[in-house]
Amino acid sequence: MSGADVFDAWQLLIGISHVANAVRPQRSASKTIPFTLISGFLGSGKTTLLKSILEAPFAQRIAVLVNDFGAINIDAALIRERTASTIELSNGCACCSLAAGLTNTLTDLLASPRPPEAIIMEASGIAEPVGILHVALAHSELFLNGVITVVDAENIEMQASDPRLKSTIERQIKAADIVILNKADLVGPSGIEVARRRIRQISSEARILDCVYANISPQVLLGIELGLAGANTSAETAQEAPHSAFKTWTVTSERPFNDRRLCEFAGSLPVSTLRAKGFVRLARDPPRWHLLQVVGRRWSLAPEDCDIVQEGPSEIVFIGLPTDAEIEAVTTRLRACEASLPPLNYGT
Amino acid sequence: MQREAARDPAVTVFLAKRVITMDPGRPHADAVAVKDGRILSVGSLTTMKPWLDRLDHVIDETFADKFVLPGFIDPHTHFSMSGAFLGLHYVGPIESPGPNGMNPALTSRSAVMSHLRALHEGMSDRDRPLFAWGFDPAIQGGQLDRDELDLISRERPVWIISYAPHFVYTNSAMIERLGATEDLSIHGVGRYADGRLNGQFVEVAAVQYALSPFLDDVMRPDRNEEALRMLGQTAKKAGITTTADMAFGFTNFDKEWLEYKKVVRSEDFPLRMVLVPLESAIYKAHGDDSARFVSSLEALSDEKLRFHGIKFINDGSYPAMSLRVKFPGYLDGGNGLRGDVPWDELADRMFPYWENRIQIHAHANGDETIDAVLDTLASLQSKKPRFDHRYTIEHYCISTTDQARRLKALGGAASVNNYFVHYRGQIHSNQGFGPDRSEATARLGSLEREGVIFALHSDFSLVVVPLHPLTAVWVAVNRIAADGETVLAPGERIGLERAMRAITIDAAYVLGLDSELGSLEVGKIADFTIVDKDPFETNVLAIRDIPIWGTVLSGVKQPA
């Protein structure tokens, strides 16, 4: 048997059936809560990242689901209340144990009087990330905000060439929208290049960020500050990006887009672009706003059923680490998606 | 059926080639007589004469060339969570257990296509979708697509999910059912070069989209009842007459109860069922009143469907590699999940049940967890000492020899999923647990040496093993790995007698039913399993292949 295991598929089918039975009859909620999965080997720095997410000053109430409380050493001064399954922080975040199982944990959280506004989940080192995603996303309130995989720069070569670890690390990297190459300080520039090349071999489209002590701005990583409570806030918050290396830029357009071309554009952004998000008008359905979201290589385009009809141009905010030439190229390509231009050929 | 019974004489005497009683005092007989669904006498027509002289009776020779055993008991299954199985077919490249025994391996594209064609032709209702799982493009000739699946049927929707759950494939009828049109803007929806949808759904968003017909099928209003009926037939074919749902109320207590009540108590349902409520679900609804509530459920019970005991989940699963182990952890240095009741609160949560003589079933897969539930048992014993409490460790997959001895000292029992020795012992030597613990999965020999009473169970269908007690027996006595030759931890093999007890009388014991079920003795309920060969005179390597005629439930024949 190769890396895939018959149990993965079976667990998925049983898992989503369980969600369907437990949850579905009671509601048909819209997808409003972003769900982010964080995977990575033991020792990669995943826990450090989760801790920094928990302690970050988000405006939204975030729930972080972890396998083991004990592993995350949360600053005691931040803890407001602690129960057997939840630690509530003074910043409004909560750290929840997955001991009751993914479906039960999610069902309880989503049914609580004040459900979280974003959910971040730690995947166990061994689990098949795609299987977890399908079971989690069977909860209809959730939409996929991205898969982040933390990789240990010092050990990736060893892990990816060890036949016993190879398939696990490969599926973690393949599932990732953003790969965090942690412990960059331990390997130096040439070591980082080797690690990047290895990750590229596994996933040519992965967005790779290198860092030390998993120190990446959680807001940028999660795209949460790009959250469009109202379409007009995005540009100004983007400028406050706390990680100085990241660039954000906004493209506006008065003309509606051709949806097929826009999707092709969204699926082929340069790997230096981490995220993009914005409300757009489509030539196919001009009266409605559509929400375009891109994280890594993953995109979605869905009609926005808000009652308030806002006037104004389509507006897309990008964030990433591009060169100025790349920014210009992305902008030009986006303009080429405007509906009045001749269609692209399929398959290109 | 009831009318017939009323017309019939009071006593039926079943003649058999041999009756194997699992009563060590009187191990064999030629006949078993049944009155009012209970055993009147076990012996021969001659020894039964004092009864037969006094009572009207008929002689039933259906089993004259067969072997009669006590009805098999699988004391740990999850029928109400198994609805996904209904109408879900398997097309994978390796043999895999399913509701009707082993699904064969389909090793080529043509084998997949002809299997799908046969499934399609075997289904009567043309609108009913054909759902299948397990397709592997790497081994079975590349990705499927809409045009190829249209060759199976243009009318019936066809839906296939891959082995690693990354792809869904559909035909044109299923694309229509999905309402997918060519302007569909979802990441990962496959297209032919001309822009037409090709029936492939590859990325997470597209697979999510394509899952909806399957979810709709799972959600059909009568689906769970239908699944329970089907599982009843599956169990009967495996010779099972009693099984226990070991997490009753997991999804919805009231809904599950109504479904079970309706299905299990209908006359044509061939199984006796035991419902063991899940403590965390009960606690959520009843808090400190939980034990009293569970006691009150006895009033709802009857002989065919009854509540019994309470179940605590204390760690993760063996095949999902989420159980908890002691040093040296997993191969990758990690470890599994603890249960939702913190271990240091477990004794307090269990005590109300302990005190009220409600039997406790403590799920523990890994050795760290087994230590925790043994510590808990020790503290219950010091708070209020009890004999014959039958505190049962459920699964008992990865254990140490000292734990068997300690379990005996504390008076507990075990219900073991030993199928994993064969199905996963070698996989987990390399993934997760490492060789020592994987080889010694399910230490039945140690339990036997220490004198712990234990049962064998399948956990069907939360894990991928067959629902088939004779396979559990085959694994227990042979411990042959998936490669078909390696014997894993030979000293943990057990003898056939002990293994057969573990699916009959000792399985009844862990469910608190051994005074009524599990052996063929006067006064017990007349549940039998009917087989074509005597397991005690069959080569132990062929035990799982013994043909099963069917069962007898409360004296009523249930041909498979």
On the question of pLDDT at A172 being above 60, the answer is yes
Say which DSSP state B105 is in: P
Name the nearest CA neighbour of B433 among B417, B449, B445, B421.
B421
Provide mean pLDDT across the span A13-26.
74
Partner-chain contact A134 B84, CB within 8 Å: no
- Across A133-161, average pLDDT: 90
Give the Cα separation of A316 and A337 in Å (integer). Answer: 13
Tell me the C-alpha to C-alpha distance, in Å, between residue A21 and each of A14, A15, A26, A241: 10, 10, 10, 42
Give the residue with greater pLDDT, A296 vs B555.
Answer: B555
Chain A's closest residue to B136, CA to CA, is A4
User: Rounded to a whole number, what is the distance in Å from the CA of B414 to chain A's nearest CA?
Assistant: 23
Residues 349-408 of B with CB under 8 A from A: none
**pLDDT the model gives residue A348:** 40
- Residue B323 is predicted with a pLDDT of 92
Total residue length of chain A: 348
Higher pLDDT, B104 or B312: B312
pLDDT digits (tens, 9 = 90+) for B25-50: 999 999 999 999 999 999 999 999 99
Query: Which one, of B436, B284, B355, lies nearest residue A112 by Cα?
Result: B284
pLDDT at B57 over 70: yes
Q: What is the pLDDT of residues A247-285, one digit of tens each?
A: 889 999 988 999 889 999 999 999 889 889 999 999 988
Check residue A228 and give its pLDDT: 37
Average pLDDT score over residue span B9-14: 92
> What are the backbone angles phi and psi of residue B487, rounded to the nearest 5°?
-95, 120
Cβ–Cβ below 8 Å for A128 and B164: yes
- Yes or no, beta carbons of B280 and A100 under 8 Å apart: yes
For residue A2, the model assigns a pLDDT of: 37
Residue with tokens 């579905």: A24
**What integer is the mean pLDDT of B209-219?**
86
Q: Is B161 within 8 Å of chain A by CB?
A: yes
pLDDT of amino acid A241:
43
Q: Can you read off the two tokens belonging to residue A254? A: 């008065």
Burial class (CB in 10 A: 0-12, 13-18, 19+), B232: buried
Q: Which of A9, A104, A302 is closest, CB to CB, to B133?
A: A9
**Strand ranges for A127-232 from DSSP E:** 142-152, 178-182, 207-210
In this prediction, residue A332 carries a pLDDT of 93
Residue A27 confidence (pLDDT) above 60: no
- Rounded-to-integer distance, Cα A235 and Cα B272, Å: 65
**Cβ within 8 Å of A, B 253-282:** 280
Percent share of chain A, pLDDT over 90: 28
Q: How far apart are CA A140 and CA B231, in angstroms?
A: 29
Model confidence at A1, pLDDT cuts 50, 70, 90, reads very low
Q: ipTM, 2 decimals?
A: 0.80
Which residues does chain B have within 8 Å of residue A46's beta carbon, measured at their own beta carbons? none
Nearest to A131 among B165, B219, B340 (CB): B165
Determine the Cα–Cα distance for residues B340 and B417; give it in Å rounded to an integer.
Answer: 21
Q: Is B105 on the interface with A (CB under 8 A)?
A: no
Name the residue of chain A whose CA is nearest to B314's CA.
A99
Residues of A in contact with B224 (CB under 8 A): 21
From the list A16, A125, A347, the residue facing B193 with the nearest CB is A347
Which of A21, A84, A125 is the closest to B332 by Cβ? A125
CB-defined contacts A:B, below 8 A: 160
Please write the tens of the pLDDT for every residue from A185-240.
Answer: 899 899 999 999 999 999 988 899 888 887 887 777 787 654 433 333 333 333 44
Integer CA distances (angstroms), B522 to B33, B37, B47, B196, in order: 9, 11, 13, 71
pLDDT of residue A222: 81
Residue range B413-436, pLDDT digits in tens = 999 999 999 999 998 998 889 999
Question: Residue B250: in which H helix or E strand, if any?
Answer: none
Please state whether beta strands B454-456 and B413-416 pair in parallel, antiparallel, or not at all (unpaired).
parallel
The pLDDT, as a whole number, for residue B296 is 97
**Region B275-304 average pLDDT:** 96
Residue type, B496: L
Written as one letter, the residue type at B179 is: G
Q: List chain B residues with CB under 8 Å of A8.
A: 163-165
Axis-axis angle for helices B401-409, B367-383 (nearest 10): 20
* B251 close contact with A: CB closer than 8 A: yes
CA angle B255, B74, B404 (to 5 degrees): 115
Residue B353 pLDDT:
98
In this structure, what token pair is assigned to residue B473? Answer: 């027996």
The answer to whether residue B107 neighbours chain A at the CB level (below 8 Å) is: no
